[in-house]
């Protein structure tokens, strides 16, 4: 029987190099997308997918992340005293339950694989999710829920992928594909390999690795070798390739839209998209944008 995915690892220790100086004093994942931080949107996606325990891999100076998901007594008391019940309800909606989150210090920026490995003792022998908080994935059901559904159907390891922009597959980590799994409208296929930034014209597919994974705990053993890869860092994809020799992997071409919020233009696009789709503020946001575009 396939074990249920209950835990998610969120590597949030990055410095936000591509969006500086915006992230100079605010952790990049706490920058806003419309009405709340990027990270709040990602955590909401995880909760909707049934995640019970969120493991944040943090670095120095990121205590604000922990504070965001906890009570803010002065703010909440002030809102209650002023009768601002709707705002108070919205503030409460992002709170975590006691024991639902853990914070692990990465100590040194040694790569995504190293960040995931830091959670090994909290993961234990369970399958787990990895959610890259830079990648805001707008979907219904959520991207992680789609990946977990695929995991429940075929087991093993699931990597969420999506089509690269035309002519740009050589800029990404591209998956090599095998047989199509039943169901999922042909979007779930066995993985036979991964190629990082293949030369133009040699890409095994047009699907690149996006920001959600469901992995078996065996990947921790591979990461524990601390083998250095590209950039002298411990790469998650390298460990996955080694694990692929003994465990099945499937790639899920998820249905949704991804916004790379670690990039200035990606963050802008996410803000516009989420403002436009908001039931209450969408019409006003559209009107404001039309005025600006007319100018």
Quick one: which of 141, 170, 179, 164 has its CA closest to 50? 141
Query: Mutual orientation of helices 143-154 and 38-48 as an angle, nearest 10°?
Result: 30
Quick one: which of 234, 223, 219 has its CA closest to 156? 219
DSSP annotation string for 36-67? EEHHHHHHHHHHHTT--EEEEEE-TT-HHHHH
Q: Which residue has the tokens 């249905």?
A: 255
The answer, yes or no, to whether the previous bond of 21 is cis (omega within 30 of 0) is yes
CA pseudo-torsion sign 141, 143, 145, 148: positive
Q: What is the pLDDT along the chain (295 residues), one digit of tens a residue?
A: 678 999 999 999 887 788 888 888 888 899 999 999 999 999 999 999 999 999 999 998 889 999 999 999 999 999 999 999 999 998 999 898 899 999 999 988 889 999 999 999 999 999 999 999 999 999 999 999 999 999 999 999 999 999 998 888 888 889 999 999 999 999 999 999 988 888 888 889 999 999 999 999 999 999 988 888 777 888 899 999 999 999 999 999 999 999 999 899 999 999 999 999 999 999 999 999 999 999 8
Domains of the chain: 7-294 (3.90.550.10)
User: What's the rounded Cα separation, in Å, for the pair 155 and 9?
Assistant: 19
pLDDT score, position 58: 94
Residues 193, 183: contact at Cβ < 8 Å?
A: no
pLDDT score, position 209: 93
Quick one: which of 19, 12, 24 has its CA closest to 66? 12
pLDDT score, position 173: 86
Phi and psi torsions of 44, nearest 5°:
-60, -40
């Amino acid at each position: 029987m396939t074990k249920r995915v209950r835990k998610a690892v969120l590597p949030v220790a990055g410095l936000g190099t591509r969006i500086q100086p915006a992230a100079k004093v605010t952790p990049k994942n706490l920058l806003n997308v419309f009405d709340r931080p990027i990270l709040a949107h990602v955590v909401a996606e995880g909760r909707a997918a049934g995640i019970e325990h969120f493991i944040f891999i943090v670095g120095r100076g990121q205590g604000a992340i922990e504070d965001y998901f906890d009570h803010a007594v002065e703010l909440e008391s002030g809102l209650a005293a002023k009768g601002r019940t709707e705002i108070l309800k919205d503030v409460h909606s992002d709170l975590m339950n006691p024991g639902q989150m853990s914070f692990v210090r990465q100590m040194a920026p040694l790569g995504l694989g190293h960040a995931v490995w830091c959670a090994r003792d909290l993961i234990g022998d369970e399958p787990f999710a990895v959610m890259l908080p830079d990648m805001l994935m707008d979907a219904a059901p959520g991207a992680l829920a789609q990946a977990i559904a695929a995991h429940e159907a075929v087991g093993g390891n699931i990597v969420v992928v999506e089509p690269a922009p035309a002519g740009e597959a050589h800029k990404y980590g591209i998956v090599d594909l095998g047989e199509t799994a039943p169901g999922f409208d042909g979007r779930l296929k066995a993985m036979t390999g991964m190629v990082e930034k293949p030369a133009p014209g040699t890409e095994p597919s047009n699907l690149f690795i996006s920001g959600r994974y469901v992995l078996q705990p065996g990947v921790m053993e591979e990461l524990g070798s601390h083998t250095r890869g590209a950039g002298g860092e411990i790469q998650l994809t390298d460990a996955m390739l080694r694990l692929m020799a003994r465990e099945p992997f499937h790639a899920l071409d998820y249905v949704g839209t991804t916004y790379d919020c670690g990039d200035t233009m990606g963050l802008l696009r996410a803000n516009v998209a989420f403002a436009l789709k908001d039931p209450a503020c969408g019409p006003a946001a559209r009107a404001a944008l039309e005025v600006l575009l007319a100018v």
